[in-house]
Structure formats: C-alpha cells, structure tokens
A and B are shown apart, each in its own frame.
Chain A
Amino acid sequence: MKKIYKAKVNKIEKVSSSSYFIEIECENPVWVEAGQFISIYCNGLTLRRPFSVYSNNDGKIGILFKERGKGTKYIKSLKVGDDIDIAGPFGNSFDIKNKKALLIGAGIGAAPISYLKTKLDNENIENCFIAGFLNKDEIPKGMEIDKICTDDGSFGEKGSVLNYIGVIIHEYKPEVIYACGPHIVLKIISELGEKYGIETQVAMEKVMACGIGVCRGCVIDIKKDGKIINATVCKDGPVFKGNEVVWES
C-alpha cells in the first residue's frame, strides 16, 4: 500500500497546558509500530512535519504535539472532520525485547514511550515508565505513567528524570532501557546504560525533508563495525542503540 493518505481529523483536544492530542482517521486502518512516525503536510509549508505516534487504536493514528512553530500552529487550528494530508508510517521501531524494561520519556518525548508501554503491556512484558515534565500542568491527561518527575516539584519527584535514573537502575534492575526526549537526556541515558551494561534504545529527532532516507538531510553519526558512518534519523532511525550514537556534546 502506498504511504500517503488523505485523512480526516477524528479528534483534537488540549491535554495539558501546552500539548494537544490529535487523532487522525485514514480511509483504511493504518498500523504503526512503537517508535515509528508519520509526517503531516501543513498548509503552504515546504517541509512536512514529522511526529512520533502516540496511539494507534482501531488503525487510527494519534499524536501528541506542542505548538512550537508554523507547522504545529496549523495542526492546532484543525477541527474535527477537517481533511489532513499525512504520510507514513516511516522509520524503524523499538526492537521489543522480552526483558524487564525501563521506559523513560522527557517532555513531549513521553508520547512514543507511552505507546511503547501499551505494546509491552499487551505482551505481558514487565516494565516501569518514568516521565518528566516542567510542572504538573504539563502532564498530558490520560497518559498512564508509573513515576512522574516535575522540574518544579509541583507533582511527583522534584527535578529532572535524570536525577532518578541511577537510583531506579539500582532498585528496579531493568534489562533494557527505552527512551525519548531532548538530545542531552538521551545522551546521558545512553552513557548510564553503557556504565551499567544495560542495552539502551533511544528515539531521536531531527529536521527532515523526505522522510524516507533519500535526501540525506537528517543524518547523524553512528558507530558501526569500528567505523563512523552516516545514518538517517528518518529511515535508519528514529530508534538507535544508545551505544552506537556518536553523541554531540
């Protein structure tokens, strides 16, 4: 099946002080793996905007987004029943292991991790989902999280998720860590994984043009077989093994 759809907005709602949930219904159900993304054409803008998938109920695609610029401003303006032009799903996905899992989501990065949690739960794989937000108003309503951190301490533990990962690794003893969030968070998680000998899988983000690996616009450096090579976030990723990424400081 071709990966471009004329779809409709099935639901759009504000779910926290700064984030929105939109559910998109295509003509036929579209099935998405955890970690994959779709791209949305935003009226008049040249580049489609990529979003990790947050939910996939009955083949409908749910994403979580914040208003950050022209693209997300357009998406925010959509109403139920409006047409929407989407393409995807693109990219690889989390490589789900039958191992005790620590799931980490920072900010809007909690969205694909939350979707991964539902997959792990469906497969009865033991997991713990920790997510960090700026404050309690930023926590998306309806997201099921085992442990919440807020930078200002207005809900759950005070401070960044990074402050707690060391302790959780010791107490919970995960065999694999899956994470999504800002670059610096993923870098530190990957380093911790290496330190404790735990596999890490991180979902990365980068400005993209084509979404299918041809334009080479979204490359990062990764280590493969002792060499440093280019990998596209859109096709080779967005999920990479933390210890394979060459982290920029």
Chain B
Amino acid sequence: MGKLSVNLGGLELKNPIMTASGTYGYANEFDEFIDVSKIGAIVTKAISLYPRAGNKHIRITETEAGMINSIGLENVGIEKFIEVKIPELKQNNINYIMNIAGSTIDEYVQVAKKCENEKIKAIELNVSCPNVKSGCLEFGTDENSLYELVSAVRAVYSGFLIIKLTPNVTSIEKLGIAAEKAGANAVSAINTLKGTSIKLELINGKYKKTIVQGGYSGKGIKPVAINAVSRLYKVINIPIIGIGGIETLDDVLEFFAAGAEAVQIGTSNFTHPDTAERLVEELDEYINKSGFKSLDELKKELRA
C-alpha cells in the first residue's frame, strides 16, 4: 500500500478521499470527468429494498453557501444494483461502499442480508435522511432505536459497517456511542442539516414564494461537521469519516485535525466534478513536500 493508504480497522483504502452518497451515482458515472478508480472509495447513492421514485416538486435549490436537496432517496433498488451496477464497479476496479436506506428495521436487515450474500465488503447505513417521512430519521435521532437497528444489521452482516450520523440532534455523542456499542466498525459524520429556503419574487404586488425544504449541504455546513467530528472523537473508539463542505486540501487537513480518519466529498462534486481526484493528488503532493512519512504521521502531527 502507498503512502496515502488508510486502514480503518477492517477496511483498507488506497487513500482517505471518498465521495459521499447521493452525489456520485452508483458506479462509474463520474468517468466523464475523472478516473474514478483513483479515489479511496465511492459511497453509492442510498439503495433501498425496492426501487423508490423520490419526491415531487422542486428537488434542489442553491443557498448562500451551499444547497438544499429534497430528492427523497430516488434509487433503483437493491436487485438492480446487484445486477447492473456491481459488475460495472468491478469492471472499472472501483472501491465502493454501499449506502443503505430503509423505513423499518426489517427493510435494512433484508438489504444487509443481500449484501452479505453478495460479499459486499462495506456498507454505510443512512439513518437520517431528512427528506423521507417514514421512520428513517427516527433511527438517527434516538439512541435506543439506533442501537436496535445497528444490532439487527450487525447480526446478519459480517462486513465493514458504517453508520452515517445526522447533526440534527442535541447530542451526537450519544448516537455515536450507541452505534459503537451495537457493533458498528465506523461512523460517518455528518449527513445534511435540515434547512428551508424561501425565495421571494414580487409580481404585481403579490409575493410568489418558492419554498424548498430538505437537506442543507455545502461549504456552509463545514463548521457544524467539524464540531460533530471533534465531539465524537472524544467519546468513541471506532474511526470517524468526516463529511461536510469539503472542497480544499485545507478542509481535509482540518477534518483530520478534528479526528477524522478519512473524508467524504459531497456537494463539491457538483461544483467541481474533479474535486475528489484533485484532493488525492494534492494530499499526495503535500505529504511528499512536508516530509511526513505517512498519512498516519501527518494525522498524528495535526492532532498533537
């Protein structure tokens, strides 16, 4: 393994740069822009037991420092993912983590069983989608429900299990601890923040309002994410994957300093579709130039 390699305690990545669920498709879609196989891992769009059509109405809007989405977990479902996308991932030598969403524990468990059968080596549970009215968000906000869910998935899935935590809680520590106790191998933080955008247009004396409610992401959420990672780092012993507004190498280093072992790039994939590949190159160059022997040594210095 190279200088940038990272071992999350059961999951080896060639570098710590991943792409976040929902921003990168299922497999090789970004090959229009970059060589996807160079990235540490892509996290697939959230996949559910059955295909989902997602939400109606306006699904995205830009905000001052990011965007709000209300896609509603539109996806092809697990069967089609296994049939069509996994061969594409393998053929292109792409390291992937499958993101899973469900409304009931049983749905998560059924999908996790299929992942076990397919020998999918890592999954990330979306327990906190702000755009789905079912029970999904409940798992992410209540530590007892989360413990129950993670334990149930753990019982049927032996691969690397990541729990993606929501910032829309009073104490993210409690959720991180519950995930760890239930047998998760890592947590990723953070999912999107709940946000609402109201755009006003005055037409003939009346306001036309365009309201989009959903998950807020982008550079504006970075301090919230770093806060969450720092707090989790103090209380849990499993690795943390940092997510939230990452665009530059400095952002990546700040997340390492806060305690993240790896990071995911989300919204920035839309702004600059080559962000992940660029960050891998810049991190490599930075380590070479600054004289650190390895990524671990760099992280140690950043946290000293």
Q: Max chain B CB contacts within 10 Å: which of A2, A85, A212, A214? A: A214
By a CB distance below 8 angstroms, the chain A residues around B267 are 46
> DSSP majority for the A interface?
loop
In the bound complex, what is the Cα–Cα distance between A164 and B272 (angstroms)? 44
Considering the complex, give the chain A residue whose CB is closest to the CB of B73.
A216
B271 and A217 within 8 A (CB) = no
In the bound complex, what is the Cα–Cα distance between A216 and B25 (angstroms)? 9
* B binding-site residues for A, Cβ under 8 Å: 22-25, 29-30, 32-34, 45, 53-54, 58-63, 65-67, 69, 71, 74, 218-219, 267, 269-274
A46 and B54 within 8 A (CB) = no
By a CB distance below 8 angstroms, the chain A residues around B58 are 207
Beyond the given pairs A3-B32, A45-B62, A218-B59, 12 more chain A to chain B contacts, judged by CB atoms under 8 angstroms and listed by A's residue number, are A2-B32, A4-B33, A4-B274, A41-B271, A46-B67, A47-B67, A208-B60, A212-B32, A213-B25, A214-B30, A215-B22, A219-B54
**Chain B CB within 8 A of A209 CB:** yes
A219 and B273 within 8 A (CB) = no
B269 and A210 within 8 A (CB) = yes
B23 and A215 within 8 A (CB) = yes
Considering the complex, give the chain B residue whose CB is closest to the CB of A232.
B74
By a CB distance below 8 angstroms, the chain A residues around B59 are 216-219
Considering the complex, give the chain A residue whose CB is closest to the CB of B45.
A214
Considering the complex, give the chain A residue whose CB is closest to the CB of B268.
A46
**Chain B CB within 8 A of A87 CB:** yes
Smallest CB–CB gap between A202 and chain B, Å? Answer: 20
Considering the complex, give the chain B residue whose CB is closest to the CB of A216.
B74
**Chain B CB within 8 A of A8 CB:** no
**Chain B CB within 8 A of A117 CB:** no
How many of A's residues come within 8 Å of B, CB to CB?
A: 25
By a CB distance below 8 angstroms, the chain B residues around A217 are 59-60, 69, 71
Given contacts A207-B58, A212-B32, A217-B69, contact A46 B273 (CB under 8 A): no
By a CB distance below 8 angstroms, the chain B residues around A187 are none
B218 and A3 within 8 A (CB) = no
**Chain B CB within 8 A of A60 CB:** no
By a CB distance below 8 angstroms, the chain B residues around A211 are 270
**Chain B CB within 8 A of A57 CB:** no
By a CB distance below 8 angstroms, the chain B residues around A118 are none
Given contacts A47-B62, A212-B32, contact A87 B273 (CB under 8 A): yes
Considering the complex, give the chain A residue whose CB is closest to the CB of B72.
A216
Q: Which of A2, A208, A229 contacts B33 (CB 8 A)?
A: A2
Smallest CB–CB gap between A135 and chain B, Å? Answer: 19
Q: Which of B53, B62, B69 contacts A215 (CB 8 A)?
A: B69
In the bound complex, what is the Cα–Cα distance between A202 and B74 (angstroms)? 25
Given contacts A45-B62, A46-B218, A216-B59, contact A2 B34 (CB under 8 A): yes
In the bound complex, what is the Cα–Cα distance between A162 and B230 (angstroms)? 60
By a CB distance below 8 angstroms, the chain A residues around B67 are 46-47, 209
Q: Which of A46, A207, A214 contacts B271 (CB 8 A)?
A: A46
CB-contacts of A178-217 with B (<8 A): 207-217
**Chain B CB within 8 A of A230 CB:** yes
By a CB distance below 8 angstroms, the chain B residues around A87 are 33, 273
In the bound complex, what is the Cα–Cα distance between A209 and B67 (angstroms)? 9
By a CB distance below 8 angstroms, the chain A residues around B69 are 209, 215, 217
A214-243: CB near B (< 8 Å → 1, else 0) gives 111111000000000110000000000000
Smallest CB–CB gap between B211 and chain A, Å? Answer: 14
Smallest CB–CB gap between B131 and chain A, Å? Answer: 11
In the bound complex, what is the Cα–Cα distance between A214 and B67 (angstroms)? 16
In the bound complex, what is the Cα–Cα distance between A210 and B274 (angstroms)? 12
* 6 pairs of residues in contact across A and B, judged by CB atoms under 8 Å: A48-B271, A207-B58, A209-B67, A212-B30, A213-B29, A215-B270
In the bound complex, what is the Cα–Cα distance between A41 and B33 (angstroms)? 14
By a CB distance below 8 angstroms, the chain A residues around B65 are 46
The 4 closest A-B pairs by CB, nearest first: A214-B25, A217-B60, A209-B270, A216-B74
Q: Max chain A CB contacts within 10 Å: which of B25, B53, B65, B273? A: B273
B274 and A46 within 8 A (CB) = no
Q: Max chain B CB contacts within 10 Å: which of A3, A87, A215, A219? A: A215
B71 and A41 within 8 A (CB) = no
A41 and B45 within 8 A (CB) = no
By a CB distance below 8 angstroms, the chain A residues around B30 are 212, 214
In the bound complex, what is the Cα–Cα distance between A210 and B271 (angstroms)? 8
In the bound complex, what is the Cα–Cα distance between A76 and B280 (angstroms)? 34
A210 and B270 within 8 A (CB) = yes
By a CB distance below 8 angstroms, the chain B residues around A212 are 25, 29-30, 32, 273
In the bound complex, what is the Cα–Cα distance between A45 and B273 (angstroms)? 14
In the bound complex, what is the Cα–Cα distance between A200 and B198 (angstroms)? 35
In the bound complex, what is the Cα–Cα distance between A230 and B73 (angstroms)? 13
B24 and A230 within 8 A (CB) = no
